């Protein structure tokens, strides 16, 4: 099992960053490299507690489907998405948002990801060899896209 945290500073208020983080259109745009698209559940707008979405994407040249559910939600400070069906033995992504303390209205966004690959010892080998680095990079790319949208007015319907 892999656990990692990523911290991203964003020059936008926590409410805006929280809302944009739950916008499925923004998420799809941030994962364009993998061809990620929605194939079930919430297909547009912002997710909320209990909502599910099924994504289809291509990673490592292999098509994947993953259904996740928003299992915790406390606007504007916290939400959790968990895999309910998909490629991982376990996937839990906790999103935390806090004012940056500078008085300029910024946000410190912290992602905590816990995941386990399937296939027992083979999966643990894959986690150590490449999956950990790959997932960290995907989360950083997504957060860079989110930061740009939040700071430039992109995704204004979530404002």
121: containing domain:
2-158
pLDDT digits (tens), the chain, 159 positions: 999 999 999 999 999 999 999 999 999 999 888 888 999 999 999 999 999 999 999 888 889 999 999 999 999 999 999 999 999 999 999 999 999 988 888 999 999 999 999 999 999 999 999 999 999 999 999 999 999 999 998 765 544
Using CA atoms, how far apart are residues 40 and 119, in angstroms rounded to an integer? Answer: 26
Contacts of 8 (CB under 8 A, 6+ apart): 108, 109, 110, 111, 143, 144, 146, 147
The number of domains in the chain is 1
**CA 5 vs CA 46, 51, 54, 88, 137: distances in Å:** 24, 24, 24, 18, 12
* Domain containing residue 108: CATH number: 3.30.530.20
Half-sphere exposure of 47 (CA within 13 A, CB side): 27
Half-sphere exposure of 34 (CA within 13 A, CB side): 25
The answer to pTM > 0.75 is yes
Q: Is the dihedral of CA 129, 132, 135, 137 positive or negative?
A: negative
């Amino acid at each position: 099992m892999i656990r990692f945290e990523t911290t991203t500073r964003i020059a936008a208020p926590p409410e805006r960053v929280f809302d944009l983080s739950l916008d499925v259109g923004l998420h799809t745009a941030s994962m364009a490299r993998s061809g990620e698209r929605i194939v079930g559940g919430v297909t547009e707008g912002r997710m909320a507690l209990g909502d599910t979405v099924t994504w289809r994407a291509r990673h490592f040249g292999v098509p994947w489907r993953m259904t996740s559910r928003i299992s915790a939600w406390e606007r504007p400070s916290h939400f959790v998405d968990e895999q309910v069906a998909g490629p991982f033995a376990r996937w839990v992504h906790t999103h935390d948002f806090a004012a940056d303390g500078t008085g300029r209205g910024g946000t410190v966004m912290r992602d905590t990801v816990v995941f386990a690959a399937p296939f027992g010892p083979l999966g643990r080998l894959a986690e150590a060899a490449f999956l950990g680095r790959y997932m960290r990079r995907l989360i950083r790319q997504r957060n860079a896209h989110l930061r740009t949208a939040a700071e430039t007015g992109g995704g204004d319907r979530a404002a």
